[in-house]
Amino acid sequence: MASPILHIKDSYYFEVPKALLPCHYGSKASFPTIWVQLDDQFQLWEADRLYSKFADEYGAALPPKQDLIAEYVEWKHHDHANAGKPFDRFLEEAKYTDWFAQRSASAGFAERWAQAKEFAGGEKAVETFQGIPASVAQWNWRPAKVDAYNEHLSGKILIPQPFGTLRNFYQPESGFCISKFMVIEVIIALILWVVFAWLGRQIGNGDRPRGRIWNLLEVFVVYIRDEVARPVIGAHDADRFVPLLLTIFFFILGCNLFGMLPWMGAPTGSLAVTFAMACVTFGTVILFGMLKFGPVGFFLNQIPSMDLPLILAVFLKPMILAIELAGMCIKHAVLAVRLLANMVAGHIVLLAIMGLAFSLEGSILPSGEAVSNWVWLPTAAISIIGSTLISCLELFVAFLQAYIFTFLSSLFIGAAIHHH
């Protein structure tokens, strides 16, 4: 089974059914570096090396090694947010926060500390750990552990990270890390580029639309132009914004539809993606509003036209301007949250409905007997039918939310380039 949060949470791997991509690593030397770094034995070994390096190079007044490492283990397991964090994060975030803060500005300290961390737990340290002879029973991964790790990694397609390092499969450690949603967004961008480059060539020939794909695409293009951009922005200015609005619509639609595909995910289920799209609209509003009215005129245009005595205008108009500017920022923030909430909500409902069947299947009656078929079969039927209906609704929502985002973007752009 794929992860239950597959379509909601971004990650640094793709996941398919385990039967399609089983793992058969034979020893700890075969496992990916990131997986070895998450191993409890490796992290204790890393802690031992970093303790010695920390004490020798910085002369820090450290508690006894065993006490400090035991405290580190307790810290990792006490809070879920600390799970899998290495020993250096424990020192930086919990034990010696003030000590690091005092020395962070010292010349060369950051570089020496980075070198110490690399020595203790970097790729070379992983190679050293993996090369420890199997005769050292303390560090030998026994067959049961190797099998358990193979089971956990089966079905996972790890994304190469040439520009950064990972802390785990869901959090970056440093540099620029490539996530699943980033890969999907690039795929969508390439699809749009290929499809609309082809459409542009066909339209450029002046021929009438032929074929289902050409007619389908032209329906969307003409609708966005004639029913969204021109009525809202105005026939005089709308056409120059049509390419932007089409890009926003089809990119969001592609992101939404990818959430309907098995083993993929909807990038619009991430706030980073929806916020970036809202920033595109916000930047367009600011840029073209200033080009139309000038920097000062753009802000003055946010104040509605009203005839007020000078003594009232001096007090009221600055307050109205502040309210309008705050409202502009809030409107674009809501633009991001609206899309995010609608996409995540659908996936959560699907997860909840499918969870009924799996939860019931795994439940045991007080007598120790499994749930009978007369309970299981109706629940399974309800889950399947309910998931199918919700998926159909999700398909409709995918188009609807792309349209709403595009329509609201055109409203905001139109308001920015016209007098209030």
pLDDT at 183 > cutoff 70: yes
The 3-state secondary structure of 149-204 reads HHHHHCCEEECCCCCEEECCCCCEEEECCCCHHHHHHHHHHHHHHHHHHHHHHHHH
What is the rounded CA–CA span in Å between residue 271 and residue 276?
A: 8
For residue 386, the number of C-alpha atoms closer than 13 Å in the C-beta half-sphere is 17
What is the residue-wise DSSP string for 255-301? HHHHTTSTT---GGGSHHHHHHHHHHHHHHHHHHHHHHHHHHHHHHT
295 within domain boundaries: yes
Say which residue, 420 or 366, is predicted with more confidence.
420
* The model's pTM: 0.82
Nearest to 249 by CA among 272, 223, 231: 223
Q: For position 1, what pLDDT does the model report?
A: 34
Say which residue, 356 or 64, is predicted with more confidence.
64
Residue 114 tokens, joined: 């980075």
Verify that 219 and 139 share a domain, yes or no.
Answer: no
Verify that 309 and 250 share a domain, yes or no.
Answer: yes
114 within domain boundaries: yes
167 within domain boundaries: no
Q: Which residue type occupies 268?
A: T
290 within domain boundaries: yes
47 within domain boundaries: yes
Q: How confident is the model at residue 65 (pLDDT cuts 50, 70, 90)?
A: confident
List the domain range (segments joined by +) for residue 82: 23-153
Verify that 268 and 410 share a domain, yes or no.
Answer: yes
Verify that 406 and 353 share a domain, yes or no.
Answer: yes
pLDDT, one tens digit per residue, over 213-234 is 888 999 999 999 999 999 989 8
Verify that 145 and 210 share a domain, yes or no.
Answer: no
Verify that 127 and 244 share a domain, yes or no.
Answer: no
Verify that 140 and 281 share a domain, yes or no.
Answer: no
Verify that 136 and 272 share a domain, yes or no.
Answer: no
Number of domains comprising the chain: 2
75 within domain boundaries: yes
Verify that 104 and 214 share a domain, yes or no.
Answer: no
Say which residue, 152 or 100, is predicted with more confidence.
152
Locus of tokens 């639309």? 209
Verify that 254 and 357 share a domain, yes or no.
Answer: yes
Examine the fold and report which residue of 133, 153, 173 is the final residue of a domain before the chain moves on: 153
pLDDT, one tens digit per residue, over 333-384 is 999 999 988 888 877 777 777 776 666 655 554 544 555 556 667 777 777 7
* For helices 271-300 and 242-258, angle between their N-to-C axes, nearest 10 degrees: 160
Verify that 266 and 358 share a domain, yes or no.
Answer: yes
